[in-house]
Homo-oligomer: A and B are copies of this chain.
Amino acid sequence: MRVLGVDPGLTRCGIAVVDGAVGRKVTCVQVDVVRTPVDADLAVRLLAVSDAVEEWLDRHRPDAVAVERVFSQYNVRTAMGTAQAGGVVALAAARRGLPVVFHTPSEVKAAVTGSGRADKAQVTTMITKLLGLREAPRPADAADAIAIAVCHIWRAPMRNRLAEAEARAAEMARNHKARIAAASKRKTTT
């Protein structure tokens, strides 16, 4: 499974392509940080992020795209820009019919360090180890993009189980409704 992981942002957008599967070694195919000028118009910055992602999708043909979900309440203006960068990444993937999944920072941290409260340094350390890199990816946004892709690969079995459980629940609800409808029909006809 090949995943494009993105740590969205306008000033720095981490982007990584990771190959792997549950129980197998994960390999980083490419990792980089896309930067856009702070003084440029928002629309121009979004276009730069979008163009970069389109290029990576063309070059690496991933099976899925994983994006970090933003929740910050601290700096609303920054959070909005980050959310918008994540939005244009999701849009580029959707245009190609690729599945896009948003992972929260704590899901990503828990997947690669075992703790949802791990700090950035811990995430970087684990990513360096897991991928057998000689040195830590720099800046932190690069390591984060790899971590998001790894999280997506490792959470795949859980996502599948969840999807199956949801499908079963929907099926049960449909059967239940059908039984009630049949019973009420019997009642009115008798």
B residues less than 8 Å from A50 (CB atoms): 91
| CB closest chain-B residue, reference A69 | B80
Alpha-carbon distance A71/B78, docked complex (angstroms): 11
A94 interface neighbour in B47, B87, B95, Cβ under 8 Å: B47
A43 close to chain B: CB less than 8 A: yes
Contact with B along A69-93 (1 / 0, CB 8 A): 0110100100110011111101101
A21 close to chain B: CB less than 8 A: no
B residues less than 8 Å from A94 (CB atoms): 41, 43-44, 46-47
- Given contact pairs A47-B91, A79-B80, a sample of 9 additional A-B residue pairs in the complex whose CB atoms are under 8 Å apart: A42-B100, A46-B91, A47-B94, A50-B91, A73-B73, A83-B83, A83-B84, A83-B87, A88-B91
Chain A interface residue count, Cβ-Cβ cutoff 8 angstroms: 26
A154 close to chain B: CB less than 8 A: no
B residues less than 8 Å from A70 (CB atoms): 80
A102 close to chain B: CB less than 8 A: yes
Contact B80 A41 (CB under 8 A): no
The smallest beta-carbon distance between A130 and chain B, in angstroms, is 27
**8 A-B pairs with C-beta separation under 8 A:** A42-B90, A44-B94, A46-B90, A70-B80, A80-B80, A80-B83, A84-B84, A85-B87
B residues less than 8 Å from A71 (CB atoms): 76
The smallest beta-carbon distance between A80 and chain B, in angstroms, is 4
Q: Would you list which residues of chain A between 34 and 77 have a CB under 8 Å from chain B?
A: 41-44, 46-47, 50, 70-71, 73, 76
The smallest beta-carbon distance between A78 and chain B, in angstroms, is 11
